[in-house]
Amino acid sequence: MSSEPKLKDNLRAAILAEPDAVLDDKDLMQALVAANEQARGDNVIDLRGIAMQRLEARLDRLEDTHRSVIAAAYENLAGTNQVHRAILRLLEPTVFEDFLRALGNDVAEILRVDHITLVLETTVVRDDPVVNQLGGVLTVAEPGFIDSYLTSDRNGQPREVTLREIRHPNPQVYGEQADQLRSEACLKLDLGTGRLPGMIVMGACDPRHFSPQLGTDLLTFFAGVFERSMRHWLS
């Protein structure tokens, strides 16, 4: 075999000047290993090379997992900040009507949902002009409506937070916007002893926005703060 260099002088000089750059280049090293295997022939098994390949595959999986964990952490932090901003906005109004308008407008925008409705059960269901003036953010229903709504797609007790896709949105809850919504988050509210329950319903046009696989901790916290604010307004 001839020892005469086959590389161009400038390329050879660059490699000799910075050999670490070759070792740090993953694609380049794989190409060199592949060339070495071809030169050795098919009748030679390189166990060390096989072990290195498995280690590289394991490292790739670890790096993917690491990136996924980092991405999930950033997403969770962003969600926490959104909920905190929404709660601070709800604490600003000094008039109940402004409190409800903030829920339907500013809070919906902060949380990036397409519609929010507050459902309150009452023994007297009538056409209330105050409700009509709030632009669909508040609706009233007969006793038992909330539990029936929460369990409409399954049996059992209603959960505090329900995330699901919706194929036929309820016009009583969403009004004229019902046909546009495809997923929802339902937050059941305990408004205190002697009072009927309430419910916040957040609707989204994206059917995957509120998936049952998503965590509910932040929404549970939001519901807890909201129901305490409602107790204050109702007292």
Integer Cα distance of 23 and 172 in angstroms: 66
**pLDDT for 68-118, tens place per residue?**
777 667 777 788 899 999 999 999 999 998 999 999 999 999 999 999 999
Pairing relationship of beta strands 115-121 and 198-204 according to DSSP bridges: antiparallel
Locate tokens 């394991």: which residue?
A: 58
DSSP 168: S
Integer Cα distance of 111 and 108 in angstroms: 5
Average pLDDT over residues 13-25: 78
187 vs 30, more confident:
187
Cβ 172 vs Cβ 152: under 8 Å: no
Enumerate the domain spans of the chain: 9-43, 68-234
Cβ 212 vs Cβ 164: under 8 Å: yes
Cβ 208 vs Cβ 221: under 8 Å: no
pTM for the structure as a whole: 0.69
Element spanning 131, H or E: helix 129-133
Percent of the chain beyond pLDDT 70? Answer: 84
Integer Cα distance of 183 and 163 in angstroms: 8
Class in CATH terms, 68-234: alpha beta
